[in-house]
Amino acid sequence: MREYLLVLVVAAATTYLLVGLAGLVARLVGAVPVVRARDVHVTPIPRLGGIAMLGGFLAAMLVASQLPRLQGVFVEYTDAQALMTGAIVICLIGAADDVWGLDSLTKFAGQVLAAGLVTAQGVQLYWLPLGGGTLSFGPAQGVLLTVFLIVLTVNAVNFVDGLDGLAAGTVGIGAAAFFSYSYFLSVEQGLSRMTTPTLISAVLAGLCLGFLPHNAHPARIFMGDSGSMLIGLLLATGSISLTARFPPGAIPSSSGLGILLPLLLPFTVLAVPFLDLLAAIVRRTRAGRSPFAPDKQHLHHQLLEIGHSHRRAVVVMWVWSGLVAFGVVVAALRGSWPTYAALGAVLLVAVAATLRRPAFLTRRARSAGA
């Protein structure tokens, strides 16, 4: 556990220190976009925060490769090196988009390239539960499905990045939840606790933690596509690589969630944004507009309209992400009726906190009526 704590601190500290340099580079190269009508900030803010996150990731992986207990992760398997290659490629593609604004097809091709490089070096999906058995994939099938899941997660995280600190906090919570699952699964199975999935989730949590002080409202820098695509790739590949560490029978299935959790967790973390995306598509289509036409009716916009402050709206969405992510982990590892009852109680509290009008607005309305 101390090794993971060390690499988390290295990732967080390096990212935190490099953000200032990334902001300076963003201003020099013109990665400071104008404010759009649907944006919630009013002044231009530099992007390219992902460059700092990439620096934090590479520094943490370098330190991890020199630690005696974690060296085996880099010697016995190729997935750690594969993730570093993919991280560099996708961050550079995102940086190009932050600076020059790539068209959607070019950016998609770059995402597929990065995902393909990762899978070509050994990170891929090998099996899926199917009824009472297991569906195994051949090399070609595994590569195609892995690329699809990585690209889907990358774009989902990109979609989350709508409020200051939202994407970093949401993905950081998901990384912490997956770290808990991967670590305790290793303990329960009596296997080595030093694994690539656990290492990547610890590093990812550190990247988000180090970036948040600069990105929390009012943000001084945005992670941009260079950051959102980077952490999306790490979130997806860290989860997928777990299926190569454990045979299907080693993953607890009593709750019905354990065997699927490695694949479900990135999407459960992003469940709220995914539902927001679906609602946006339905809303725009019914209005006769393109599903990709921007508007200001997303969930975070609606939270602001209810009366939540910018910070509170972000915290509400963090709470929901944490509830879903850790709820699924707890249910998978300790599935029982008391567990489900406790999760239900927390769910009710989260709903009340989301829909409840902030107290200061209620007092203001009463004063105005008097």
pLDDT tens digits, 83-131? 999 999 999 999 999 999 888 899 999 999 999 999 988 888 776 655 5
Residue where the block lists tokens 């289509």: 285
Is 260 a member of any domain? Answer: no
Query: Contact 304/310 with Cβ under 8 angstroms?
Result: yes
What is the distance between the alpha carbons of residues 49 and 21, in angstroms, rounded to a whole number? 9
Is 137 a member of any domain? Answer: yes
In Å, how far are 19, 118, 151, 251, 288 from 293, measured between CA atoms? 32, 32, 21, 42, 10
What average pLDDT score do residues 12-20 get? 97
What average pLDDT score do residues 176-205 get? 84
Please count the structural domains in the chain.
1
pLDDT at position 364, please? 47
pLDDT in tens, 157-175: 887 777 788 889 989 998 9
pLDDT at position 369, please? 42
Higher pLDDT, 103 or 367: 103
Which of 121, 127, 167 is CA-nearest to residue 145?
127
What average pLDDT score do residues 132-139 get? 66
What is the distance between the alpha carbons of residues 280 and 285, in angstroms, rounded to a whole number? 8
Is 307 a member of any domain? Answer: no
Is 309 a member of any domain? Answer: no
pLDDT at 244 over 70: no
pLDDT in tens, 248-304: 555 555 444 555 555 666 666 667 666 776 777 787 788 887 665 666 666 766 777
- Range of 28's domain? 2-253
Burial grade of 346 (CB within 10 A; 0-12, 13-18, 19 or more): middle
Is 311 a member of any domain? Answer: no
Arithmetic mean of pLDDT over the chain: 80
pLDDT in tens, 206-227: 999 999 999 998 889 999 999 9
Q: How confident is the model at residue 140 (pLDDT cuts 50, 70, 90)?
A: confident
pLDDT at 42 over 90: no
What is the distance between the alpha carbons of residues 208 and 165, in angstroms, rounded to a whole number? 9
Is 240 a member of any domain? Answer: yes
Residues present in the chain in total: 370
Is 270 a member of any domain? Answer: no
Residue where the block lists tokens 């630690």: 67
Is 364 a member of any domain? Answer: no
What average pLDDT score do residues 65-91 get? 87
Q: How confident is the model at residue 245 (pLDDT cuts 50, 70, 90)?
A: low
pLDDT at position 361, please? 43
Query: Contact 298/162 with Cβ under 8 angstroms?
Result: yes
pLDDT at position 99, please? 93
pLDDT at position 250, please? 56
